[in-house]
Amino acid sequence: MSSVSIRQIRKSFAGLTVLDSVDMEIAPGEFVVILGSSGCGKSTLLNVIAGLDDCDSGQILIGDVDVSHLEPSQRGLAMVFQSYALFPAMTVRRNLSFGMEIAGTPKATIAEKVAWAARLLQIEALLDRKPSQLSGGQRQRVAIGRALVRSSSICLFDEPLSNLDAKLRAETRVELKQLHETLKSTMIYVTHDQIEAMTMADRVAVMHKGKVEQFAEPQTVYEKPASLFVAGFIGSPAMNFLKGTLEGTLRFKTHDVCLDASSYGFAAGPTAAEVILGIRCEDVDVVERGTPDSIPATLAFTELLGADALGWFDCLGQRFSVKLTVDAARAMQRDVGFRFNMSKASFFLAATERRL
């Protein structure tokens, strides 16, 4: 196992800044997911770590060794690509062994490692097939196996499940997490899929416009987003937002409504300021219209999602999502009231969009 230190990495293409002073410290054996929308710089960052792209400035350290200017083959990394990148004319066995053959690895060692990877990934019956005879999930297993036989202490994954259907993605996601628990390797995994990030990662790095907005455990990112972007990006549906003013008496005022914010855990002492209140759909209680300390809301429509449901309401000029039981959604009145669980809320300073 090796640690990875990413220090002040900058990268531009044709004058466009893609990575802007990125800093991350990844512990040995950690499973880190780099999460973000298309164009945020996450794949570029992975390529810089792998040595496939050069950085304009900054350092990449593997353990205590600065590998910033080393070739990819000298970094001791294994990488799994989105496109699988298997050799179509070779069997699965040759795809797994080819890199070791080129490196001059003894035949007995090659056979041992191929057998180990095939057994671990349950592809023993596929060893004599060619990629064209495999399903998408089987090809991805072979691509992962090819990375594993390198016996690298660090594995990089560039959106490896994006070409799979939803059912196969879920199955392979579980297999990858179990694989990490077995091997204890350091894994860095790039994706735009929130479910993959939340279920697989020890820590998640949320990227936006070339910067790491937050680097923390998945539940922390969900419950205490560090910025307005993270709050809106993480979660489905996205967090509900209300603009207003935070008063020194710990009251949040918006329109003609005042809410008690004294149960909120401020990182520093609150001051009067223009703020944005964020509240998750599961932290909104629906009550009867006119209930004391409630906010009037009007039901627009409901979505039945199988085990639970979502209600969409108009409240204070905003569209709000609220998590409901299926029975509650079916019996929901049009005119209702809202109560917010303010201890679970998030406040962001309007001027900086950072968490208070």
Predicted confidence (pLDDT) per residue in 98-125, tens digit? 988 888 889 999 999 999 989 888 899 9
Q: Which domains does the chain have, with CATH numbers?
A: 4-232 (3.40.50.300), 241-349 (2.40.50.100)
**Cβ neighbours of 121 (radius 10 Å):** 19
Give the confidence band of 269 by pLDDT, cuts at 50, 70, 90: low
Alpha-carbon distance 127 to 125, whole Å? Answer: 6
pLDDT for residue 184: 87
pLDDT digits (tens, 9 = 90+) for 316-350: 999 999 999 999 999 999 999 999 999 999 999 99
Position of tokens 């164009």? 39
pLDDT for residue 154: 92
pLDDT digits (tens, 9 = 90+) for 81-95: 877 788 999 999 999
Q: What are phi and psi of 83, to 5 degrees?
A: -90, 10
User: 247-260 burial by CB neighbour count: b if 16+ within 10 A, else e?
Assistant: eeeeebebeebebe
Residue 332 contacts by C-beta under 8 Å, 6 or more apart in sequence? 286, 299, 302, 311, 324
Residue 267 has pLDDT above 90, yes or no: no
Which of 338, 54, 21, 1 minimizes the C-alpha distance to 211? 21
Compare 254 and 8 and report the one with higher pLDDT. 8
Provide the H-helix boundaries in the chain: 42-50, 92-102, 107-121, 136-148, 166-183, 194-200, 218-223, 228-233, 326-330
Classify strands 284-288 and 295-304 as parallel, antiparallel or unpaired: unpaired
Report the percent of the chain where pLDDT is more than 70.
Answer: 98
pLDDT for residue 97: 92
User: If you compute the radius of gyration of the chain from its CA atoms, what whole number of angstroms results?
Assistant: 24
Residue 271 has pLDDT above 90, yes or no: no
Classify strands 77-80 and 154-158 as parallel, antiparallel or unpaired: parallel
Strand intervals (E) in 14-110: 16-26, 31-35, 57-62, 65-66, 77-80
Alpha-carbon distance 184 to 198, whole Å? Answer: 19
Residue 144 has pLDDT above 90, yes or no: no
> Hey, which residues does 212 pair with through a beta bridge?
207
- As given in the structure block, the two tokens for residue 154 are 């660090």
Instruction: Report the pLDDT averaged over residues 63-72.
Output: 92
pLDDT for residue 83: 79
Which of 285, 270, 273, 265 minimizes the C-alpha distance to 344? 265
- As given in the structure block, the two tokens for residue 302 are 């409901």
Instruction: Report the pLDDT averaged over residues 277-286.
Output: 96
Angle between helices 166-183 and 136-148 (to 10 degrees): 20
**Cβ neighbours of 87 (radius 10 Å):** 12
pLDDT for residue 249: 63
90, burial (CB in 10 Å: exposed 0-12, middle 13-18, buried 19+): middle
Instruction: Report the pLDDT averaged over residues 303-322.
Output: 94
Residue 25 has pLDDT above 90, yes or no: yes
Average pLDDT, the chain: 91
Alpha-carbon distance 137 to 129, whole Å? Answer: 14
pLDDT digits (tens, 9 = 90+) for 181-224: 888 899 999 999 999 999 999 999 999 999 999 999 999 999 99
Alpha-carbon distance 165 to 163, whole Å? Answer: 7
Residues shown for the chain: 356
pTM of the model: 0.89
Residue 270 has pLDDT above 80, yes or no: no
